Structure 1
Amino acid sequence: MAADTVDDFQKELIELFVQEAHEWLQNIHVALDELQQAPVPERHVKLIRTISAGVTNLAGSAATINLPDIEKASVEAIPFIEALRDPQKQFSGQDFLALCKQLGQIHTALTRATGISFENDETGSVGDAVGRRLAPEEFLHALQSLQNSAPSRMTSGHNLIRILIEQIEGQVQAGVERIDTTVIQGYLARVSDAEESFLKAIDQRVPEILRTMSDLKETRDEASSGSVALEASLQDVARLRAAAQQVNASSAMMFFSGLHSLLTVVAQRRVFLAATRVESVKGRLHTMGVAIHQWVEHGRAQRAAINQLLPAGHS
């Protein structure tokens, strides 16, 4: 009877661990997906912390309930995480693939130790909790077909489909057998939130920058230089540059970097812009605003098309 009680208690611990492990692994994969998009350094640091915390929790909990293989596989992932820690470093696909492969080892160890598949379709409550799953190879083929059939204007300068193809290729190479659709949907939702936030910032700040540009005069009269407004515009341009970097809008990031440099020179009184130059810069800023609207719209279209490939997209 005592042995039965111990076994029941251990079973309950393992069931609880399985639920926690699913949550940690999902957080790890979501963070890793975003990490591969070259986020700004501050975000990179937070994503690494999320991945590291998830793996550390897995190792610690596995050790607590005497699951040494899971503990070992989790600990062995730490060097691969550390290799990605520096946000200033440029990473190759192989760097991410190495971590993906080790995460695959954790999946395998979890399945062997608990008897519950962490990759295949499941009919139990845990499988229902983490959402529907699909085969990476099939999803990859569907994405490639979508890429080939998409109008070039929709993917020009904003190829979310290609980015997702590269991520799924990494999953296939890592030997992952099933992908949780909620992970993909979560990634698409985060991309959507970031791009819509970027567009909102553009709509709010560009008109103010244009007004400041209109006030610039070819004069050395400090009263007419609008130094306070110019300083505010410099801050706005810096924010837009950072926002563009966060959503990987490379053309916008380059434009706002150049505009920031120009306005910095003007603010420091090293040059004074002729009226024709001011109008030229204003025209380019207006054109960039229109282009960003189109860029975001293309992103919306791509996300809608990708969602249609997911099981939930047809429900």
Structure 2
Amino acid sequence: MAGDTSDDFQKELVDLFVQEAQEWLQNIHVALDELQQGPAPERHEALIGILAGGVTNLGGSAATINLPEVEQASFAAIPFIEALKDPLKSFSVQDFLSLCKQLGQIHVALTHATGVSFEAQDTSESNEATQRTVSPEEFLQALCQLQSAQEDGNASERNIVRTMIDQMEAQITAGVQQVGVEAVRDYLQRLSDSEEAFLRALDKSMPGLTAQISSMAESAPGAELEPCLQGVASLRIEAQNLNAVLAASFFSGLHSLLSVSAQYHVRLAAVRVEAIAARLDVVRAIVHRWSDQRRMERAAIGQALS
């Protein structure tokens, strides 16, 4: 009899936890959707607080009723939230994708521990009248068709379509039922703006960078090379943030070369300087072609959303 009473009490605790967990997950998904749209710094910080508070509450409550699988999955999300904490940082899709995947693990753990099917609520319900949505499964199918067309055209591996496919698969795993079309378009526009800013910075830096490198054949560099080093480092970081792999690799190598030359006052041979200057022009052209390709990708994705 006492055993039955204990079982009933545990069931009541689990039922209460399920209700709370559903509310926390709803808040988490709403906050994550808004966070991906690039809110103002003050709002960004508030959304991070909602995410951190939600998973902490989930993990803490799961611990009190002895659901270790849910506890571990919840607290494992905290590092991914911490990675998104700085509102001034430029985040990649992978940053959000990693958190989405971990939220999917929380859903799986909750379902396994409670026997209740946990699915993320459609966070677009409040905007249903003004914002069109698409199911992630439907959008994923359209993206896969675009990827097949790219493969036929020998497109590069690191492209927007592949990134969006990864993101939609994570959304499906997390139980998201609808994706806001405008949210996707906003993300594509922000990506376009970032790429345009990178191209402007690249084009603006090239004349001075070429002149600075050319002067290294005439004399050993010293402290005067510092502005050039800062410019190259900035281009490398921007290229890395945009997954412009070849450009990021080139500017990383160039930064190392210039750093060593400045530190040890190494004068470069004229033939070496000419090769580097020529490579700058090649990389610049490659980056512009890369940007053109991604511009076409965004247009194709936008067409798939129409």
How far off its partner does 1:81 sit?
3.5
Letter in 2 for 1:303: R
Distance 1:299 1:183 in 2: 18
* 2:236 equivalent to 1:241: yes
Match of 1:254 in 2: 249
* Cα gap change, 1:48 to 1:195, in 2 (>3 Å): same
Match of 1:84 in 2: 80
**What's the CA shift string for 1:190-213, capped at 9, x where partnerless?**
211111111111011122100111
The runs of 5 or more residues in structure 1 that have no matched partner are: 1-17, 35-44, 60-74, 107-116, 219-223
- Map 1:1-315; keep pairs closer than 5 Å: 25-29=29-33, 31=35, 49=45, 51-55=47-51, 79-85=75-81, 87=83, 96-100=100-104, 102=106, 118-119=121-122, 126-129=127-130, 131-150=131-150, 155-156=155-156, 158-217=158-217, 224-225=219-220, 227=222, 229-310=224-305, 314=306
Stretch of structure 1 that moved more, 172-181 or 286-295: 172-181
Letter in 2 for 1:127: E
How far off its partner does 1:294 sit?
0.8
Distance 1:271 1:226 in 2: 7
Distance 1:199 1:23 in 2: 38
Letter in 2 for 1:163: T
The runs of 5 or more residues in structure 2 that have no matched partner are: 1-22, 56-70, 85-93, 111-119
Letter in 2 for 1:167: Q
Stretch of structure 1 that moved more, 186-195 or 143-152: 143-152
How many pairs were matched up? Answer: 248
Distance 1:55 1:95 in 2: 10
Give the match's secondary structure for 1:128: coil
Whether the 8 Å CA contact 1:158–1:295 is kept in 2: the answer is no
Whether the 8 Å CA contact 1:213–1:278 is kept in 2: the answer is yes
How far off its partner does 1:169 sit?
0.8
Identity %: 33
Q: Normalising by structure 2, what TM-score? A: 0.67
Whether the 8 Å CA contact 1:97–1:170 is kept in 2: the answer is yes
Q: Normalising by structure 1, what TM-score? A: 0.66
Distance 1:206 1:82 in 2: 41
